[in-house]
Chain A
Amino acid sequence: MACTTEDVVAALRRCAEVISEHRDELVELDREIGDADHGENLNRGFAAVVSAVDSTMPETPGAALKLAATTLISKVGGAAGPLYGTAFLRAATTVGDAAELDAPMVAKVLRAAMDGVVARGKAEQGDKTMVDALHPAVLAAESATEVPVGELLKAAATAASEGAAATVPLVARKGRASYLGERSAGHLDPGARSTELLLGAFAGGQR
Chain B
Amino acid sequence: MKKIINDPATVVAEALHGLAVAHPERLRVTTDPAVIVRTDAPVAGKVAVISGGGSGHEPLHGGFVGSGMLDAACPGAVFTSPTPDQVQAAVTATDAGAGALLLVKNYTGDVLNFETAAELAEATGTPVRSVLIDDDVAVADSTFTAGRRGVGGTLLLEKIVGAAAERGTDLDGCARLAASVVAGVRSMGVALTAPTVPHVGEPSFTLGADEMEIGIGIHGEPGRARVPLEDADRLVARLVDAIVSDLPFVAGDRVILFTNSMGGTPLLELYLAHGIAERLLAERGIEVARRLVGPYVTSLEMQGMSLTLLRADDQLLDLWDAPVCTPALRWGM
Contacts and interface: CB of A to CB of B under 8 A. Distances in A.
A75 B113 CA distance: 11
A74 B199 contact: no
Interface residues of A, number: 31
Nearest to B113: A82
B77 interface: yes
B108 A174 contact: yes
A175 B80 contact: no
A180 interface: yes
Contact of A36 (B109, B115, B116, B204): B204
A207 B79 CA distance: 40
A176 B219 contact: yes
B217 A179 contact: yes
Contact of A178 (B78, B82, B145, B205): B145
A190 interface: no
A20 B108 CA distance: 24
Given A178-B145, A179-B221, A36 B79 contact: yes
A130 to B, nearest CB: 12
Contact of A73 (B116, B140, B217): B116
Contacts of B166: none
Contacts of B221: 34-35, 176, 179-180
Contacts of B197: 35-37
Contacts of A76: 83
Nearest to A78: B109
Contacts of B146: 174-176, 178-179
Given A36-B197, A179-B145, A73 B84 contact: yes
Contacts of B33: 74
A115 to B, nearest CB: 16
- Among B139, B149, B200, residue most surrounded by chain A Cβ atoms (within 10 Å): B200
A173 interface: yes
Interface in B137-158: 139-140, 143-146, 149
A77 B80 contact: yes
A121 interface: yes
A44 B83 CA distance: 13
Given A78-B80, A176-B221, A120 B112 contact: yes
Contacts of B77: 37, 40-41, 44, 77
A200 to B, nearest CB: 24
A173 B33 CA distance: 32
A178 B219 contact: no
Contacts of A120: 112
A183 B139 CA distance: 13
Contacts of B109: 77-82, 176
Interface string B47-68: 0000000100000000000000
B261 interface: no
B112 A35 contact: no
B84 A74 contact: yes
Contact of A121 (B108, B140, B199): B108
Contacts of A36: 79, 197, 200, 204, 220
A83 interface: yes
B264 interface: no
Contacts of A44: 77
Given A73-B83, A79-B108, A179 B222 contact: yes
Interface string A171-196: 00111101111010000000000000
13 contacts: A35-B221, A36-B220, A37-B78, A40-B77, A41-B77, A73-B116, A74-B84, A81-B109, A82-B115, A82-B116, A178-B145, A179-B139, A179-B149
Interface of A: 27, 31, 34-37, 40-41, 44, 73-83, 120-121, 173-176, 178-181, 183
Given A36-B200, A41-B77, A179-B145, 12 more contacts: A27-B200, A31-B204, A36-B204, A37-B199, A73-B83, A77-B77, A77-B82, A77-B109, A120-B112, A174-B108, A176-B107, A179-B223
Interface of B: 33, 54, 76-85, 107-109, 112-113, 115-116, 139-140, 143-146, 149, 197, 199-200, 204-205, 217, 219-223
